[in-house]
Amino acid sequence: MQPVLITLEEFIYQRQKDFPFASGELSGLLRDIALASKIIQRDLSKAGLVDHILGKTGSVNIQGEEVKKLDDFANNMLIQCLQTSGECCGVASEEEDTFISFHEKNRHQKSKYVVLFDPLDGSSNIDVGAPVGTIFSIYKRVSPVGEPCTNADFLQKGTEQVAAGYVMYGSSTMLFYTTGAGVNGFTLDPSIGEFCLSHPDVKTPNSEKTYSCNQGNYHSFENGVKEFINYCQSSEGKKPFSLRYIGSMVADFHRNMIKGGIFLYPNTADAPKGKLRLMYECNPLAFLQEQAGGKADWGGGRILEIQPKELHTRTPVFIGGENLVNRLLENLK
Ligand code: AHG
Ligand code: MN
Ligand code: MN
């Protein structure tokens, strides 16, 4: 018998019907992001062929990183899709200095939401055709509806997210998201251009087999982290763990979420306050990880409870199956 095919569109519609007072805006936002990601995927798949989309733009973003052409393309595509539909009142992006309010473009809009994103995560992987991703996070605004959005709408704790997710552009393109009622994953069927439900109600296994980190930084990790890595490598009473590190957080996180494991990016000599961005990378993935039964901590508490002081703030992050994260936190004590 043919398996039942449930598209993302159909799934969102079904879920919306479960909430009688839902206005449909949130569903609209997820559709906008899915559309942008299909266009990004299309151009990414040509990256090896088309000269003009590979390489650098020549500019540097607010975080001091070189902006690749596809970073720019993905950023503009997300902004365009979200602005055109009018389902959110503003966005903040890893590639933008400050948030962008859509108020000037559409003074009549009554949207309640803001969206934050890392348009292309792991973009240094593009040159070699390895997986990259898009990460997004959605909040209800705290300023009055109908007014221009403010910094406070974006600087909310991760616990306030109403939805979050990512798209991974790998050997297949997958979109995983949560609205706080578990995690569901969809795989793009390129022949029909639709994301189809492939991973319903994802739960991270508590397996202890894999760890992911940039171990080149080992010597600048704090002692607790080193001890944890030594434990992963030791063969006393168990098999040593496998180290898997792609260098694209979405791809490393995605594998661990499905198969079990832990991803860590601690403080290093180069990044004494952590490298990864709280608002665009850590909060959305922490929300997903907790919804899949795992844990995300910065070494002193839940990632989701950090009060952000600025948009581009960074944090150390330890995220994955609960047992492994707990073990690491024990080492850090
Ligand atoms: P981005 O491409 O959005 O700047 O993110 C890159 C991030 C993350 O995806 C990855 O896990 C990490 O940087 C890799 O950093 P190292 O090269 O320092 O390991
Ligand atoms: Mn990133
Ligand atoms: Mn990025």
Return the residue whose CA atom lies nearest to atom 2 of ligand 1: 122
Model confidence at 47: pLDDT above 80: no
Q: State the average pLDDT for the chain.
A: 93
The C-alpha angle 54, 173, 291, rounded to 5 degrees, equals 120
Measured over the CA atoms of residue 193, residue 197, residue 203 and residue 206, the dihedral's sign is negative
Model confidence at 53: pLDDT above 70: no
Residues 217-233 have a mean pLDDT of: 97
Per-residue H/E/C for the chain: CCCCCCEHHHHHHHHHHCCCCCCCHHHHHHHHHHHHHHHHHHHHHCCCCCHHHCCEEEEECCCCCEEEHHHHHHHHHHHHHHHHHCCCCEEEECCCCCCEECCCCCCCCCCCEEEEEEEEECHHHHHHCCCEEEEEEEEECCCCCCCCCCHHHHCCCHHHEEEEEEEEECCCEEEEEECCCCEEEEEEECCCCEEEEEECCCCCCCCCCEEECCHHHHHHCCHHHHHHHHHHHCCCCCCCCEECCCCCHHHHHHHHHHHCCEEEECCCCCCCCCCEEHHHHHHHHHHHHHHCCCEEECCCCEHHHCCCCCCCCEECEEEECHHHHHHHHHHHC
Q: Residue 313 C-alpha to ligand 3 middle, in angstroms?
A: 14
Are 315 and 303 in contact, with CB atoms under 8 Å apart? yes
Dist. CA 243–CA 240, nearest whole Å: 9
Please state, for a pLDDT cut of 90, what percent of the chain lies above it.
Answer: 79
Residues 35-56 have a mean pLDDT of: 79
Candidates 103, 41, 12, 63; CA nearest to 273 is: 63
At residue 16, what is the residue type?
Q
Please state, for a pLDDT cut of 70, what percent of the chain lies above it.
Answer: 94
Model confidence at 52: pLDDT above 60: no
* Nearest atom within ligand 1 for CA of residue 268: 18
Q: Residue 72 C-alpha to ligand 3 middle, in angstroms?
A: 10
* Nearest atom within ligand 1 for CA of residue 252: 11
Q: Which tops the pLDDT comparison, 4 or 225? A: 225
Tokens of 291: 């919804």
Q: Is the minimum distance from the CB of 293 to ligand 1 under 6 angstroms?
A: no
Model confidence at 105: pLDDT above 80: no
Residues 207-226 have a mean pLDDT of: 97
Compute and round to an integer the Cα radius of gyration of the chain.
19
Whole-model pTM: value is 0.95
Q: What CATH number was assigned to the domain covering residues 210-332?
A: 3.40.190.80
Q: Is the minimum distance from the CB of 215 to ligand 1 under 6 angstroms?
A: no
22-26, 119-123, 315-319: range with lowest mean pLDDT:
22-26
Dist. CA 159–CA 156, nearest whole Å: 8
What pLDDT does residue 104 have?
A: 81
Q: Is the minimum distance from the CB of 284 to ligand 1 under 6 angstroms?
A: no
The highest-level CATH class for domain 8-199 is alpha beta
Greatest alpha-carbon span in the chain: 65
At residue 332, what is the residue type?
L
Q: How would residue 46 be classed by pLDDT, with cut points 50, 70 and 90? A: confident
* Nearest atom within ligand 1 for CA of residue 214: 19
Query: Strands 276-277, 314-315: parallel, antiparallel or unpaired by DSSP?
Result: antiparallel
25-39, 57-71, 240-254, 311-325: range with lowest mean pLDDT:
57-71
What pLDDT does residue 311 have?
A: 97
Tokens of 95: 């590639």
Quick: pLDDT tens for 27-44. Answer: 899 999 999 999 999 988
Listed by start position, the domains of the chain span 8-199, 210-332
Q: Is the minimum distance from the CB of 214 to ligand 1 under 6 angstroms?
A: yes
Q: How would residue 110 be classed by pLDDT, with cut points 50, 70 and 90? A: confident
Q: Is the minimum distance from the CB of 95 to ligand 1 under 6 angstroms?
A: no
Q: Is the minimum distance from the CB of 271 to ligand 1 under 6 angstroms?
A: no
Quick: pLDDT tens for 131-141. Answer: 999 999 999 99
Q: Which tops the pLDDT comparison, 151 or 19? A: 151
Are 187 and 172 in contact, with CB atoms under 8 Å apart? yes
